[in-house]
Structure 1
Amino acid sequence: MLASQASGGSRSTGSVLLNGSTPAQALLLTENAALTNGPPLLLQRLSLKEREEVLKEGQRRVVYRGKMLFSQGTPHDGIFLIESGRIRVFYIAPSGREITLAYWHAGNFVGGPELFGQGTHVWSGVAAANSVVLHLSGKALRGLITRIPALSFGLIEGLTFKGKCYSALAQMLGTRSVTERLAHLLLHLCDAYGVEEGGKVVIGTALTHADLAHMVGATRQWVTISLKRLQAQGVLSAEKSKIVVHEIETLQALRGGS
């Protein structure tokens, strides 16, 4: 279930964790523009020496695409700080239906809301791309925050951001139709990954129809049919590895319920 650990501990670390100061990137379904830039980096408030101390306490793990990092219902022990790659966090209902909570990139931590190794995981995390993470056990984390108070602020800021994200997702699921949510997600992807070419916007991220379905709370079949309908209307072109949006205004109207 857990990916294999990289040998050599945590000596080789990414520049994002040591030197990054810009917001960490995240992909999530929200109407709050303030959340689209992602949270502050967990170690942003720390000095270089303090960051190095945190990284020495962790164990690096290489998680290959499609491999589980942690699973819903399994015992919890600490958090995972993403050094590189992308981790998808999701929840599976008793019926088997799945909803993506967010995609988290380098500089974010996953494995909450518990921090210190109590209880069980309430959702799952899987590598959406080949990733390297730093596991900080609950015991190590307790010791670190007593020695490095600034780390506590980073953890609180991260948990606050995630709480806002999941609240925004619940609001979207409860107040927007599936069609509105799909239009909103496509527009968000245009902003985050789109490249303008000749009056069109090419979305380069390789999300499958199943990925889109898990984000908007629909089935893969529904997303496929909806994209084909939008393609027939000339709104977009859905190819295997990319989506080309021809009519941004139409998607904006659909997002607003028109």
Structure 2
Amino acid sequence: MQEGTSAIPFPRSVGHRPDPAGSDPSSSALILAENQTVIGKLPSLLAHLSAREREIVLSHGRRKVYYKGATLFNQGAPHDGIYLIESGRIRVFYVSPSGREITLAYWYPGNFVGGPEVFGTGIHSWTGVAASNSSVVWLPGKQLKALITEIPALAIGIIEGLAFKGKCYSTMAQMLGTRSATERLVHLLLHLTDTYGIPDQAGIFIGAAFTHADFAHMVGATRQWVTIFLKRLQNDGIIHCRKSQILVRDRAALAAMQNAQA
């Protein structure tokens, strides 16, 4: 983030606050969406299973740990099953032939990634990387297909998961197609403020670290444009930035910008 002045101190609690890898209280995914309540919150893939059924499913999987920045699967690579997120945060994104990236979503615990071809056929349409240190359970496609014939509740969980992802990607497409880059970034800042906001005398701190590049990939803009726009908001006294921390000094003004653009 753009370096700010030292006149507005950032509290130590924010600086030392761990990245909210999966602690999103309002949803089980961070995605560009007009209305987060329409998407709702996905129950865990294993929510409908009995304790014994969970044990059986997990016995067919392999627990893996991915450190921040590590790749789970690559766009264009053959499918080999799904990854059930136990902890951490997984970023899924698409890379165009020109090399430009668009983030589809950040997925939190309870979700699975690696679809939509959950049975290990076809190729991956996008790439998945660990946005923070993460623990997942890899379920091979062939075993997963056999398991759902034995455990109907698992099939329900997979269908619910795919439906949830479909709603997420649909709302993202709607935002990209009907809202300007300015509207999208203001909307994202408000959502992050409401989700990770830490009230303070100076305003509301966003207790989650995102770089200018992260914002650019989420709203479909360039990093340079994001930097310029955030600097404009800072000059107007609406936000204050320091490295990867943002203080929203005037949420009402930020919301008014969104309403004015609508």
TM-score by length of 1: 0.88
**167, 176, 183: which one aligns with 1:173:** 176
CA 1:254–1:88 in structure 2 vs 1: closer, same or farther (change >3 Å)? same
3-state SS of paired residue (1:155): helix
Q: Which residue of 2 aligns with 1:68?
A: 71
Within 2, Cα distance between the matches of 1:257 and 1:69?
Answer: 41
Partner in structure 1 of residue 100 of structure 2: 97
Q: How far 1:250 moved relative to its partner?
A: 1.7
Q: Secondary structure at the match of 2:148?
A: helix
- The aligned counterpart of 1:232 is 235
For residues 146-178 of structure 1, give each alpha carbon's deviation from its aligned partner in whole angstroms, at most 9, with x where no partner exists.
Answer: 111001111001000100100100000000000
Structure 1 runs not aligned, ≥5 long: 1-21
Q: Which residue of 2 aligns with 1:147?
A: 150
1:202 to 200, 205, 222: 205
Aligned residues: 237
Q: Distance in 1 between matches of 2:73 and 2:49?
A: 27
1:252 has 2:255 as partner: yes
> Would you say the 8 A contact 1:24–1:108 is kept in 2?
no
> Unpaired segments of 5 or more residues in structure 2?
1-24
Question: How large is the RMSD of aligned CA atoms in angstroms?
Answer: 1.5
Asked whether the 8 Å contact 2:68–2:131 carries over to 1, the reply is yes
Alpha-carbon distance between aligned partners in 2 of 1:99 and 1:167, rounded to the nearest angstrom? 14
1:78-157 to 2 correspondences below 5 Å:
78-157=81-160
**Is the aligned partner of 1:44 residue 2:62?**
no
Q: Report the CA distance between 1:24 and its aligned residue.
A: 6.2
> Is the partner of 2:132 in helix, strand or coil?
strand
Task: Provide the rounded CA distance (Å) in 1 between the counterparts of 2:215 and 2:26.
Answer: 24
Query: 2: distance between equivalents of 1:95 and 1:257?
Result: 34
Output one character per residue of 1:213-232: Cα deviation in whole Å (capped at 9) or x when no partner: 10000111111111000000
CA separation in 1, counterparts of 2:250 and 2:146?
A: 54
Tell me if structure 2 keeps the 8 A contact 1:24–1:106: no
1:174-198 C-alpha deviation (Å, 9 max, x unpaired): 0000000000000000111111112
Letter in 1 for 2:199: E
Q: 2:29 aligns to what?
A: 26
Same amino acid, percent of matched pairs:
62
State the 1:32 CA deviation: 2.1
TM-score, scaled relative to structure 2: 0.87
